[in-house]
Homo-oligomer: A and B are copies of this chain.
Amino acid sequence: QMPRGNLETVHHRALVLAQIRKWLDRDEDFTKTMYPSLYSTSNDQPRHQPEQKKVNLICDVMRAAMECIDPEKYCLSILTAHVKKNPPELETALQKVHDLRENISPHAAAVSAEEALKYLLFLVDVNELYDYSLGTYDFDLVVMVAEKSQKDPKEYLPFLNTLRKMETNYQRYTIDKHLKRYTKALGHLSKCGPEHFSEFLNLVKDQNLYCEALKLYSSNTQEYKDISSLYGEYLMEKQLYEQAALILARAGIFAKALDAFLNSGSWQQALCMASRLGYTKDKLSNLARSMAGKLVEQRKHAEAAMLLEQYTEDYEEAVVLLLEGAFWEEALRLIHKYDRLDILETNFKPAIVEDYEVPNCPEFDLLSETSSVVTPSDMSSRYSHSNSRISARSSKNRRKAERKRYSLKEGSPFEDMALLEVLGENVRAVDSVRGDVHVLLKQLVLFGFDEQAEGLQQVLEEVLQLMETSIPEIWTPALQQSSLNPVLGPNSTANSIMAAYQQKRMVAPAVQDPELLVAPKLNKNLQWKLHLFQ
């Protein structure tokens, strides 16, 4: 044994060769692996695409050169070039071996088919090569590979004989299936006639090959319809109701399509299906009323009202829904269309006054807590009529659940970030409410509720002014710079890093959520105020 300290200086030839081999084997882009940029490593996925291209390119170029100079002399190297590609071109290689046996070369130096096959077996696993030979559907080639391999003829010959007896397409389907090449198998099976169609459908279902199956039949065939029906069921199970409905509808399976469209909330398409199914007026009316109910649950009042007016002829209920959804002008249109001005007094005016009377909920905004001006508590959700109220609220909650990384609790590590987040949300909510308030103001004025309208305009104006003066106080230019001060970097010291660790601020939240540091922008162009109260 040599002294330990000298071990590092020993370069045994075999070890050196092994190392060089490893290096030569490496197929890497040094700009990516040896000199990665400081910042891009964490984000970049390793890219195999260009590296594979490099190997394939070299294989192709080498092979072309060898085939040009002397294909017989370089026969084995050419086979190597095929095999080393990614994915390996085993079928082509096998075909060349096959050709060698067919056309025996007069050259003395020429490689025999047997030699070539032996060589291939040295490069490729025998079972893999056998499978590939099967995949050429060329039984001569299969036998040749099998013979050269260590395979037992009792094992493969009966299988080959069974295959030989089959009709060509069914034979190929059987081979494809054996090789798990299901798409090819499907193609061959589709040519085997109607007696094999149930087998076809089973394969489609087992292997989820709906799209591939549909491509094999013309859309006016019964087979296309059957596949579509199966695909529709599958998509329904996956809860992809609308896509199921589309697949069913285009195959003419209208009843199932109607159900699927109902499930997906596609009420217009559901009406189309009802029409295709020849629904009577009564049946259509019932369908419309049921869909309107669902739409109201989703706070889609305008659509629901349209269904009730046009398909059930219940314009009164339609007006009620429009008022519930704060579609004031559409409600007015129906009231006048049916000449029912009495509804103005009984429903319309009470509705706009009710909408004006913003509920005094116990939950107050942060903005109103930190200031003397009381922000109408949930103004934004109350007035966000453009979206449905319920869905707007639930999606908002979901978003909050997703994003609330920082705790508002006093003294929590990122209390400042939490405050920025909530304040930003509030500012944006109040800013976006102006459009809805403008619409309500107009209705209040139209029906003479000037006092209420003036009050509403004034409250919102005050809140907006408060926000405008508060924004530069909250989002100071200093905020951006100080919070972005990196923990590591040329200006950091051992002490500053330790301090950062102790504050658990190692991952600067500013870098995680840079948008929290950007002041929300108010849309100053929106003319929401009425001249009457200015």
Q: Which residues of A contact B (CB under 8 A)?
A: 38-40, 43-45, 210-211, 214-215, 219, 235, 238, 240, 242-243, 246-247, 249-250, 266, 268-269, 271-272, 275-276, 329-330, 332-333, 335-337, 339, 442, 445-448, 450, 469, 472-473, 476-478, 480-481, 484, 486, 489, 491, 511, 514-515, 517-518, 530-533
A481 neighbours in B (Cβ, 8 Å): 484, 486, 489, 511
A336 neighbours in B (Cβ, 8 Å): 271-272, 275-276
A514 neighbours in B (Cβ, 8 Å): 480, 517-518
Closest to A521 in B: B515
Let me know if B480 and A242 touch, CB within 8 A. no
Closest to A520 in B: B515
Do A40 and B473 form a contact, CB below 8 Å, given A272-B332, A491-B491, A514-B517? yes
Q: How far is the CA of A272 from the CA of B334 in the complex (A)?
A: 9
Q: Is the interface of A mostly helix, strand, loop or mixed?
A: helix
Given contacts A240-B531, A247-B532, 16 further A-B contacts (CB under 8 A): A39-B476, A40-B472, A43-B473, A44-B469, A44-B472, A45-B469, A242-B442, A243-B442, A243-B531, A246-B442, A249-B446, A268-B330, A269-B329, A271-B336, A477-B511, A481-B489
A526 to nearest B CB, angstroms? 12
A45, A531, A533: most-surrounded residue (chain B CB, <10 A): A531
Closest to A534 in B: B211
A240 neighbours in B (Cβ, 8 Å): 531
Let me know if A532 and B243 touch, CB within 8 A. yes
A211 neighbours in B (Cβ, 8 Å): 532-533
Q: How far is the CA of A524 from the CA of B246 in the complex (A)?
A: 24
Q: How far is the CA of A476 from the CA of B335 in the complex (A)?
A: 57
A53 to nearest B CB, angstroms? 14
A101 to nearest B CB, angstroms? 42
Cβ 8 A contact of A518, one of B266, B447, B518? B518
A329 neighbours in B (Cβ, 8 Å): 266, 268-269
Let me know if A271 and B333 touch, CB within 8 A. yes
A81 to nearest B CB, angstroms? 27
Let me know if B531 and A238 touch, CB within 8 A. yes
Closest to A527 in B: B240
A189 to nearest B CB, angstroms? 21
A477 neighbours in B (Cβ, 8 Å): 39, 511
Let me know if B275 and A337 touch, CB within 8 A. yes
A517 neighbours in B (Cβ, 8 Å): 514
Let me know if B472 and A243 touch, CB within 8 A. no
Let me know if B235 and A531 touch, CB within 8 A. yes
Q: Could you pull out 11 A-B pairs where Cβ atoms are within 8 angstroms? A: A40-B476, A210-B532, A214-B450, A240-B531, A243-B530, A250-B448, A266-B329, A272-B335, A480-B514, A515-B515, A515-B518
A40 neighbours in B (Cβ, 8 Å): 472-473, 476
A250 neighbours in B (Cβ, 8 Å): 445-448
A160 to nearest B CB, angstroms? 37
Do A269 and B332 form a contact, CB below 8 Å, given A243-B531, A476-B39, A486-B481? yes
A71 to nearest B CB, angstroms? 35
Closest to A335 in B: B272
A148 to nearest B CB, angstroms? 42
A269 neighbours in B (Cβ, 8 Å): 329, 332
Q: How far is the CA of A249 from the CA of B478 in the complex (A)?
A: 53
Closest to A331 in B: B268
Closest to A483 in B: B484
A265 to nearest B CB, angstroms? 11
Let me know if A271 and B337 touch, CB within 8 A. yes
Q: How far is the CA of A210 from the CA of B240 in the complex (A)?
A: 59
A11 to nearest B CB, angstroms? 41
Let me know if A333 and B484 touch, CB within 8 A. no
A208 to nearest B CB, angstroms? 10
A18 to nearest B CB, angstroms? 36
Q: How far is the CA of A332 from the CA of B271 in the complex (A)?
A: 9
The 4 closest A-B pairs by CB, nearest first: A275-B336, A43-B472, A268-B329, A272-B336
A482 to nearest B CB, angstroms? 10
Q: How far is the CA of A242 from the CA of B293 in the complex (A)?
A: 34
Q: How far is the CA of A39 from the CA of B482 in the complex (A)?
A: 13
